[in-house]
Amino acid sequence: MVDIDARQRLKLLAGAASAALWGCSGGGGGSDMGPVTPSPTPPTPTGFQPSDGLLRNTFRNNFTVGAAVQTSQVSNNSAISDIVTSQFNTIVSEFEMQPNIIAPTEGMFDFSAGDELVQYAEDNGLEIHGHSLLWHEITPDYFFEGTRDEIKARLQNYVTTVVSHFRGKISVWYALNEVVDSTGVGTTLPYRNSNWYQAAGGPEYIDWVLEAARAADPDAKLYINEYTTELPNKRARLIQVVEDLVARDIPLDGVGHQCHLILQDTAQSVLDAIDAVDGLFAGLSNRITELDVSVYSDPGSCWENGTNCDADYGSNIPESVLDSQAQLLRELFNGLILKSSLDSVTFWGVSDRDSWLNTSPVTRSNYPLLYDRNLNVKTGFRAITDRNFVI
Ligand code: XIL
């Protein structure tokens, strides 16, 4: 508790320092900044502090900036690796620390891909986060077999083995992925009516994961990770779940907001989600864990059964669409830098070429990230790293 308070105070101070810098003219480096004359009224923050144009430096006083990567993408000094090591200071495994990769069959643990990524992070001075310990998707069937006690023991053993293996190396676990209901109906509210809920006969599996993870590595930060926290109803259910965990003293350090956004989303809705967690006054941190901005705004049916999806832009993405994306990102980061409880922002990938949104919900060219298919920076990148850049 003392640590969190101290850290948050430091961040507030850092925020005040950034606000002071906003009063200086010009961007693109600190060399043209003369002595700062104290001003009687603090300047209104209108953009980002001067930086060298690198993502991680732009936000160095505010939060870490990360990218989800796959082991094969960053091995062998690839072009993606050059971007990752220069622009970001954290990485997260896009899928290689999930149960289907680590424990595809019962009793067998394969950490090779995860270990490679941990080594890569260590070699390049990057912090690495783990994603995830429990999800209702991509979990081998055997996890759900047997009695409730057997299921509990198996899950606890899995979490203990994985977190112990990465102890001291993975500083943050997005432990629970998507356990909150998204439908608004049913008897399991506010929890998702998932395979895990059914197998445990209730939400107790959430406690099992968090308690086992805390015991295996008391220093690792544990997060509950959720999508569409920008939507008020979903957010309210998430807050209900979090509040209950806090009230019962179940180990939890913070909330991950996935932030798979669409162009119609507003920055304010994301900021509201952070405020809702802060409003619990429980000393929890916030993280943006899977940020991307899709250029499509499909109806639910597209995600459910692939119908009525927006038409594919193919390779002809209009500039105006990328400008709207950049505008949303700028507004979002302008707000995020003022949130003292926000520890980290991670993009769900580096380049449009590799995004999961090219195949989900349907196969189609999407443009959700900061780098284009040729690994050039997009308008969105410039919008958030250069406050003088005109969109
Ligand atoms: C996507 C990934 O990009 C894939 O590599 C993965 O195997 C499954 O889908 N919410 C999540 C991520 O928590 O794990 C999803 O990742 C995107 C939605």
pLDDT, tens digit, 9 for 90 and up, residues 179-223: 999 999 999 999 999 999 999 999 999 999 999 999 999 999 999
| CA of 86 relative to ligand 1 center, distance in Å | 24
| CA of 138 relative to ligand 1 center, distance in Å | 10
Asked whether 94 lines ligand 1 (CB < 6 A), one says: yes
Asked whether 258 lines ligand 1 (CB < 6 A), one says: yes
Asked whether 290 lines ligand 1 (CB < 6 A), one says: yes
CA-based torsion, 184, 248, 63, 212: positive or negative: negative
Q: What is the pLDDT of residue 7?
A: 32
pLDDT digits (tens, 9 = 90+) for 30-40: 233 334 444 44
Q: What is the pLDDT of residue 51?
A: 60
| CA of 137 relative to ligand 1 center, distance in Å | 9
Query: Region 264-276: what's the mean pLDDT?
Result: 98
- Nearest-CA residue for ligand 1 atom 8 is 95
CA-based torsion, 379, 130, 108, 148: positive or negative: negative
- Nearest-CA residue for ligand 1 atom 6 is 95
Assign 3-state DSSP to the chain and report helix, strand, coil percentages, each to 5: 40, 15, 45
- Nearest-CA residue for ligand 1 atom 7 is 95
pLDDT digits (tens, 9 = 90+) for 72-93: 999 877 999 999 999 999 999 9
The rounded percent of the chain whose pLDDT value lies above 70 is: 87
| CA of 124 relative to ligand 1 center, distance in Å | 24
pTM of the full predicted structure?
0.88
- 15 or 338, greater pLDDT: 338
Tell me which residue of 331, 330, 264 sits closest to 295, measured CA to CA. 264
Q: Which of 72, 94, 366 to mutate to test the pocket of ligand 1 (most atoms within 8 A of CB)?
A: 94
Give all strands (DSSP E) within the chain, no chain letters.
64-69, 90-93, 127-135, 172-177, 221-226, 254-257, 260-262, 285-294, 342-347
CA-based torsion, 49, 54, 60, 63: positive or negative: positive
Q: How far apart are CA 295 and CA 288, in angstroms?
A: 19
pLDDT surpassing 90 at residue 16: no
| CA of 355 relative to ligand 1 center, distance in Å | 10
Q: What is the pLDDT of residue 25?
A: 27
Instruction: Tell me how many degrees the CA angle 211-216-218 measures, rounded to the nearest 5.
Output: 80
Query: Region 316-340: what's the mean pLDDT?
Result: 98
Tokens of 191: 């929890």
Computed over every residue of the chain, the mean pLDDT equals: 89
Query: Region 171-176: what's the mean pLDDT?
Result: 98
Asked whether 356 lines ligand 1 (CB < 6 A), one says: yes
Q: How far apart are CA 8 and CA 343, in angstroms?
A: 10
Q: Which of 133, 176, 293, 348 to mutate to test the pocket of ligand 1 (most atoms within 8 A of CB)?
A: 348
Asked whether 379 lines ligand 1 (CB < 6 A), one says: no
pLDDT digits (tens, 9 = 90+) for 217-257: 999 999 999 999 999 999 999 999 999 999 999 999 999 99
pLDDT surpassing 50 at residue 11: no
Q: How confident is the model at residue 46 (pLDDT cuts 50, 70, 90)?
A: very low
CA distances 289 to 10, 103, 224, 266, Å, are: 22, 24, 11, 17
pLDDT digits (tens, 9 = 90+) for 279-303: 999 999 999 999 999 999 999 999 9
Q: How confident is the model at residue 2 (pLDDT cuts 50, 70, 90)?
A: very low
Catalytic residue numbers, as ranges:
178, 290
Asked whether 95 lines ligand 1 (CB < 6 A), one says: yes
Residue 134 backbone dihedrals phi, psi, to 5 degrees: -150, 135
| CA of 295 relative to ligand 1 center, distance in Å | 18
pLDDT digits (tens, 9 = 90+) for 114-148: 999 999 999 999 999 999 999 999 999 999 999 99
- Nearest-CA residue for ligand 1 atom 1 is 356
